[in-house]
Chains A and B, each alone.
Chain A
């Protein structure tokens, strides 16, 4: 009748420690692990399954009231996520993006680089329906597509698995509105809209490229940076610059599987803005879950994950370009107390994201199905 975990004592220990480390902490168990946490309309959160076995679910969750309010209200008994809607995907979901100003979601995943479009209509039914698929030419056998969405001129999805397959499709009509002029078949690790006309593409090997949507014929402009350590896999995170600054100044953070973090200004690419080395174990899973993201409400702060069961938060304001080791200002260790997977390893953090308004609140998910929401306490100077 009882399942006493091997690590129950340690878990209790960490819980007591957490009283000092976090202002607020919630830990949830999803039925299946997710590698996406995406904010959707009305502060909803979307997660989706990616495992090998079929029947992958896409869930749209309503966060507990504690997460919705700006300040934590006095009496807040509700601590749970509510599953508002769910859908069934017959392929694993490796990437999920909400299309702004719509109730549509776009997903991608193996075995090819096509996209699936979903409709969320929470009012009359709680089922997320598959609406259409966006196929890609010669997409079979290609790696899964990376996605970014925007709703400037119309709801658009930017997608592609390699530099030479980068394109923009209008979500509703499925019409192709842009195709990158490149013959380079470098694999992509991420892409983003810097604004409604500018695209930023990140290759798995670390190369960054810019493109202008209005000039589809011109080749992609490689953002030349000092050579980064090779043999590593890279991913990027795009953020907003500090308040009051030039709105087109957007530092791009690049993270490698070896723990190197570089910050680049896409306008001034001859040198790094800053660079540091994170004290992380080398990514055991081959950098599948590497994730770096800027804090939307905490100047100069970013978070990284994907190396182990932790999420590191760094303050980059004091960084220089020497590339020396940096100390995180906070490390979330909660996922390490989860269940170990069948191969005998501890859980691995698959993805994390920041709360759009609450400055120190993050959501993180791990390979054991755990989903944590945490609001850490800024310790003065030292690492907690």
Chain B
């Protein structure tokens, strides 16, 4: 049996690729993630679904779609795929992902269509229609997609709601990790999976050849930057997405302010608090224990040093830190504040995540310092622009840990550069004795599996076979005779006699007969005697008998002689045997022909 995996579309070599993987398992076709390529501005950002089918509806070709988490490089093309290309089957994702996806998709749509004026893009209605097809799943809940295909989500860490998925058909299974991380942080736990022994583990490997600086040191860097700016009287703007690192960064700053006895005010834009509170309430089980404890004790965003923001505060003199949405500086409060503070070099903006092309965030991160705003106004950016990457991904150590947990039979790594991964491939192969694949995008990888098919064996047959001789040995498979009955979805192995009885059939015996011509002018019974004596002499290990009716038997082979109808000088030997004989007939023919 085999599995095949196909990675859709380009993406290798880019900093931010896109995830969209097709898996074919035991006749079922599953699409894993449906990401947007953030580096392209045109149709290349969408995966090329014509790989699945040139014509005909995708619904007929795919049994289901699974989305691992809400990042746009994993779900950004979903509305395009389901509404513009056309797919009506089920789309599976976790509850937080289902809640958050539409918000991000709508934000993304707004930026692309309203800000950049693009036309070939999905609409708000399409996002809504797409989400209607979503079936939300819980962690560790086995979901039957159909009679044969089932899926199960596992905790992946990384971002709120991110999951790794196990896809199972019969006893063949594939685990897809999406993005995950193996070290817990201040608000999320680490990914975890049981020893499910899938035939294939598909893991992301963006950071496989990286040894990541610890979370603590990144936080330290963040604190240092904020502290330095505030010390010199500057203002720090931190644009955030409500459910990203905002919560974490707040806890961090609060601790720091308390410890260092700092006085500069820290603010939180109110829209942020409401939304974030709402989601954390809904998805509290997805966060780590510390957050849960905090939440139970008090409102998540009730801090001693962090207060609600009012737009008037942006004009206050002196140092301050403000967390405001949206995260990419593309609209709303964070953009308003940015415009007020950009002209002062004492100030700083810290971008905590990736920004989509076209946003102010993306522009300033690319180094642009003169921005064209509405009404052709030019904004000169003198404030310091910093980027803090807090995203949690698995590095080589994490990948090894996950493989150790799941014990797959094969490993497939996506998103790496194959040339530079030979070492990791060898490492995985050596340590776990599994095959490690690193396909390029657009390549199909076929993995052969050895599915184990459970068969019930009848007691009678088992007793008979074990009575014959040696005990079964795993290294030496024993040959046994039985009849395999496949009925409904079960397999049974019974003795032939029992099978015949159950099926109400009588056993037939097949005999094969062959003619051997011998030149012998004597009478038939003399020919028979001659043949009998000859065979008796050469086949000493076998039982050769001359029967009263004139026929010869060699074990169960029967030999009779008749005269040739047209030629008296030729005798025809009829050699007849049952199908079970085997070697003997070869030896016999050799001797007869001699």
Do the beta carbons of B288 and A1 come within 8 Å of each other? Answer: yes
> Does A125 count as interface, using CB distance less than 8 angstroms?
yes
Q: Which of B39-47, B232-240, B263-271, B419-427 contacts A (4 or more CB under 8 A)?
A: B419-427
Chain A nearest Cβ from B434, distance in angstroms = 15
A61 CB within 8 Å of chain B: yes
9 A-B residue pairs with Cβ-Cβ distance under 8 Å, sorted by A, are A1-B189, A4-B290, A19-B223, A26-B217, A28-B211, A84-B209, A85-B423, A88-B427, A126-B420
- Chain B positions 384-436 with a Cβ under 8 Å from a chain A Cβ: 384-389, 396-397, 400, 419-424, 426-427, 430-431
Within 8 Å by CB of A82, from B192, B209, B218, B385, lies B209
Task: Check B422–A28 contact: CB distance below 8 A.
Answer: no
Interface residues of chain A, those whose CB is within 8 Å of chain B, are: 1-4, 11-12, 15-16, 18-19, 25-31, 55, 57, 61, 64, 74-75, 77, 79-88, 124-128, 371
In contact, B213 and A26 (Cβ under 8 angstroms): yes
Tell me which residues across on chain B come within 8 A of A31, comparing CB atoms.
396-397, 400
Interface-located stretch among B92-100, B126-134, B253-261, B455-463: B253-261
Q: How far is the CA of A195 from the CA of B518 in the complex (A)?
A: 99
A19 with B227: in contact, given A79-B217, A126-B421 (CB under 8 Å)?
A: yes
A1-B192, A11-B216, A12-B255 known; A126+B419 contact, CB < 8 A: yes
Give Cα A128–Cα B389 distance, bound, in whole angstroms: 31
B190 at the interface (CB under 8 A from A): yes
Closest CB in chain A relative to B391 CB, distance in Å: 11
A-B residue pairs, 9 tightest by C-beta: A1-B189, A86-B423, A79-B213, A81-B211, A27-B214, A2-B288, A77-B387, A83-B209, A2-B189
Question: For residue B292, which residue of chain A has the nearest CB?
Answer: A2
Q: Which residues of B contact A12 (CB under 8 A)?
A: 216, 255
Other 4 A-B pairs with CB < 8 A, given A19-B227, A77-B389: A1-B192, A2-B288, A28-B211, A80-B213
CB-based contact A83/B396 at 8 Å: yes
Main secondary structure of the interface of A (DSSP, over half): mixed
Assuming the contacts A126-B422, A126-B423, asked whether A2 and B217 have C-beta atoms less than 8 A apart, the reply is: no
- Asked if A55 contacts B430 (CB within 8 A), the reply is yes
Q: How far is the CB of B190 from chain A (nearest CB, A)?
A: 6
> Smallest distance from the beta carbon of A48 to chain B beta carbons, Å?
13
Inter-subunit contact B427/A27 (CB<8 Å): no
Residue of B nearest to A25 (CB): B217
Q: Are A127 and B423 in contact (CB under 8 A)?
A: yes
Q: Are B259 and A16 in contact (CB under 8 A)?
A: yes
- Of A1, A12, A57, A84, chain B has the most CB atoms within 10 Å of the CB of A1
Cβ contacts under 8 Å, A126 to chain B: 209, 419-423
Question: Using Cβ atoms and an 8 Å threshold, which residues of chain A touch B211?
Answer: 28-30, 61, 80-83, 371
Least CB separation from A64: chain B residue: B213
Question: In the complex, what residues of B have CB within 8 A of residue A1's CB?
Answer: 155, 157, 184, 189-190, 192, 288-289
Q: What CA separation (Å) do A84 and B224 show in the bound complex? A: 30
The answer to whether B210 has its CB under 8 Å from any CB of chain A is yes
Please name all residues of chain B whose beta carbon is closer than 8 Å to the beta carbon of A80 when the two chains form the complex. 207, 210-213
Q: Residue of A at shortest CB range from B157? A: A1
Cβ-based interface call for B497 (8 A): no
Name B248-293 residues within 8 Å CB distance of A. 255-256, 259-260, 288-290
Within 106-139 of B, Cβ neighbours of A (below 8 Å) are at none
Assess A88 versus B430: contact at CB under 8 Å? Given A18-B220, A25-B217, A126-B420: yes
In angstroms, how far is the closest chain B Cβ from the Cβ of A122? Answer: 9
Given contacts A55-B430, A125-B422, contact A28 B214 (CB under 8 A): yes
Give the distance in Å from the alpha carbon of A26 to the alpha carbon of B214 in the complex.
Answer: 7
Tell me if B83 is interfacial: C-beta within 8 Å of chain A. no
Q: Given the complex, which residues of A lie within 8 Å of B424, measured CB to CB?
A: 83, 86
The chain A residue sitting closest to B389, CB to CB, is A77
CA distance A33 to B426 in the complex (A): 20
**Nearest chain A CB to B248's CB is how many angstroms away?**
13
Q: Does B150 sit at the interface, judged by CB under 8 A?
A: no
B219 at the interface (CB under 8 A from A): yes
Known A-B contacts A19-B224, A28-B212; A3 and B190 likewise in contact (beta carbons under 8 Å): yes
Contacts of A125 in B (CB 8 A): 419, 422
A77-B217 CB under 8 A given contacts A19-B227, A126-B420 = no
Contact: A29 with B210, CB < 8 Å? no
- Chain B residue at smallest Cβ distance from A122: B420
A29 cross-chain contacts in B, Cβ below 8 A:
211, 214, 397
Instruction: Write out, one digit per residue, whether chain B residues 65-77 have a CB within 8 A of any chain A CB (1) or not (0).
Output: 0000000000000
